[in-house]
Amino acid sequence: MPTPARIHVAHALHEVFGEGGRVPDIWDRDLGEDAHLAQALLGLCLRRWGRLQAWVKPKLKDPDRGVPLGTRVVLAMGLTQLAWLPGVSDHAAVNESVDLAANRDLGFLPHKGLVNALLRRAAKDRAALAAELDALPAALDRSPAAERALLAALTPHHAKAELEALWTRLQQPPRPDFRLLRGEAPEGLLAEAGIPGCLCLQEGASFPRSWLESSGGIVQDRSSQALLAYAWDRPVTRILDACAAPGGKTTTLALRHAGAAITALEVQPKRAARLRQTLEQRGVEARVIQADAAEWLEGNEATFDLILLDAPCSGSGTLQKHPEWPWLKHDDLPRLAGLQRRLLTAATNRLAPGGLLIYAVCSWLPEECVSHREWLEHARRDLRPAEVWPAAMGSAQDAAGGVTAFFRPHPLRWTGEGFQGFAVRRD
Ligand SMILES: C[S@@+](CC[C@H](N)C(=O)[O-])C[C@H]1O[C@@H](n2cnc3c(N)ncnc32)[C@H](O)[C@@H]1O
């Protein structure tokens, strides 16, 4: 009987490669100690899927015949354990994979013998297996969607030639960053220069679980924190966070503009309920409204001095955290771009004179940010770019006088998530 960790990994791989679905953030929550093995195994299978499949193919009797997903999943898992997880014994890597192959939902019983034979042979020289897999081209692990996201990230910086280097960087499991909410930072967390409140985990330090549970701080990517470290000295008394759950940025806005009245909108009922609860726990005062932001704004006369539109997006900038991203369906982009435009139109209409609007997406794709910015430039003469970030947060062509109104840090000189954003002010 395979261990629960391996069964969870096999389910997650079926979800991604069978359904084009995402791996939920909490997929491994009931695995306890075994979560470490499961995370490493799933991460490696997703990150090296192309090479693993390419290694198997020539070893099949009829390489051009389609291989059932169950066989591909089980072989990828077995080979990954043998090649890159030295703590797993030969016996566990081979036998548990053979057991999985016999599982009606996760494997493919007629290929149990094939799985056994291939893995047993590979187990005879694990170092050679790792070397063979590592020598295959890294490009095999990239889908066309991933290739496009990488090019989009590098294009504004005239750095397309650095695609391999960027891909290599994104294959490293991400390190979490934190935002201090109150009190002192616990031992093991170091302040990030230039981003107030941003903390990073010192090499070898343990994860600050109890500090997070006591609401001393939150996990928040450094790109999100740098985005909200905008320079703005006009009075801010009414804030709108138009797409607010899970509330990380609402929290940061409340810290930055103490005393301002915050309205936080969220369309999904469950996420809105959780947002309300989270903000309460953190002691953040905000009016949480469950509504479609565009509809709510269109039916409302309220105006705001500061609007954050952290829009729903493809998530192409989160490749490092979500190694399944390259393999998702990606058929949703036109709908998302339309929704972003609708939200942006509604939000800009509610920006008070003298106010600031920040639009952001965790995506590198131009249709989710650059094209909205260009459209706004032509469509809205009452709005002007607001240079609220240091030049290093933009590309060379965006920066004027050491500042920029376009947030798109160089993906190789900046190690946060891939974020794009822009800031406009209303005259
Ligand atoms: C990128 S996330 C926001 C993350 C959040 N700002 C934070 O930092 O924690 C986008 C959120 O917008 C919500 N959303 C999607 N469409 C929306 C709409 N039409 N109106 C309001 N919220 C929407 C999603 O459910 C999701 O929670």
In the beta sheet, which residues pair with residue 241? 264, 308
**Full DSSP string of 325-345:** GGGS----HHHHHHHHHHHHH
Query: Does residue 408 share a domain with residue 262?
Result: yes
CB of 44 within 6 A of ligand 1: the answer is: no
Determine the residue of 266, 276, 292, 306 to mutate for testing ligand 1's pocket, defined as the one with the most ligand atoms within 8 A of the Cβ atom. 266
- Is 12 a member of any domain? yes
- Is 391 a member of any domain? yes
CB of 245 within 6 A of ligand 1: the answer is: yes
From first to last of its 427 residues, the chain has per-residue pLDDT tens of 889 999 999 999 999 999 999 998 888 888 888 899 999 999 999 999 999 999 999 998 887 788 999 999 999 999 999 999 999 999 999 999 999 999 999 999 999 999 999 999 999 999 999 999 999 999 999 999 999 999 999 999 999 999 999 999 999 988 899 999 999 999 999 999 889 999 999 988 999 999 999 989 999 999 999 999 999 999 999 999 999 999 999 999 999 999 999 999 999 999 999 999 999 999 999 999 999 999 999 999 999 999 999 999 999 999 999 999 999 989 999 999 999 999 999 999 999 999 999 999 999 999 999 999 999 999 999 999 999 999 999 999 998 889 999 999 999 999 899 999 999 999 8
What is the distance in A from the centroid of ligand 1 to the CA of 365? 18
What is the distance in A from the centroid of ligand 1 to the CA of 293? 9
Query: Does residue 127 share a domain with residue 236?
Result: no
- Is 344 a member of any domain? yes
Query: Does residue 245 share a domain with residue 132?
Result: no
CB of 265 within 6 A of ligand 1: the answer is: yes
Protein residue with least CA distance to atom 18, ligand 1:
292
Ligand 1: nearest atom to the Cα of 342: 19
For residue 182, give the DSSP letter: S
Establish whether the linkage from the previous residue to 246 is cis, with ω within 30° of 0: yes
Query: Does residue 335 share a domain with residue 237?
Result: yes
CB of 310 within 6 A of ligand 1: the answer is: yes
What SS3 state is found at 166?
A: helix
What is the distance in A from the centroid of ligand 1 to the CA of 271? 9
Distance between CA atoms of 254 and 283, rounded to whole angstroms?
Answer: 10
- Is 150 a member of any domain? no
Identify residue 98 by its one-letter amino acid code: V
- Is 170 a member of any domain? no
- Is 213 a member of any domain? no
The set of long-range contacts for 277-286, using a CB threshold of 8 Å and a minimum separation of 24, is 278/246, 278/247, 279/247, 279/250, 279/251, 281/215, 282/181, 282/215, 282/218, 282/247, 282/251, 283/215, 284/247, 284/250, 284/251, 284/254, 285/254, 286/241, 286/244, 286/250, 286/254, 286/262
Query: Does residue 299 share a domain with residue 399?
Result: yes
Dihedral angle over CA of 394, 395, 397, 398, nearest 10:
-10
Query: Does residue 407 share a domain with residue 272?
Result: yes
Protein residue with least CA distance to atom 27, ligand 1:
245
Ligand 1: nearest atom to the Cα of 220: 8
CATH number (domain holding residue 73): 1.10.940.10
State the residue range of the domain holding 43. Answer: 4-141
The number of folded domains in the chain is 2
Query: Does residue 241 share a domain with residue 128?
Result: no
- Is 419 a member of any domain? yes
* Helix or strand (DSSP H, E) at 376: helix 370-379
Q: What is the pLDDT of residue 177?
A: 96
What is the distance in A from the centroid of ligand 1 to the CA of 268? 8
What is the distance in A from the centroid of ligand 1 to the CA of 276? 14
Protein residue with least CA distance to atom 15, ligand 1:
312
**Full DSSP string of 28-67:** TTT-GGGHHHHHHHHHHHHHTHHHHHHHHGGGSSSTTS--
CATH number (domain holding residue 259): 3.40.50.150
The answer to whether 198 is a known catalytic residue is no
Is residue 286 a contact partner of residue 264, using CB atoms and an 8 Å limit? yes
pLDDT per residue as tens digits for the range 342-398: 999 999 999 999 999 999 999 999 999 999 999 999 999 999 999 999 999 999 999
* Helix or strand (DSSP H, E) at 254: helix 248-256
Check 200, 313, 362, 369 and give the catalytic one.
362
- Is 15 a member of any domain? yes
pLDDT per residue as tens digits for the range 93-116: 999 999 999 999 999 999 999 999
Structure tokens at 46: 């997703």
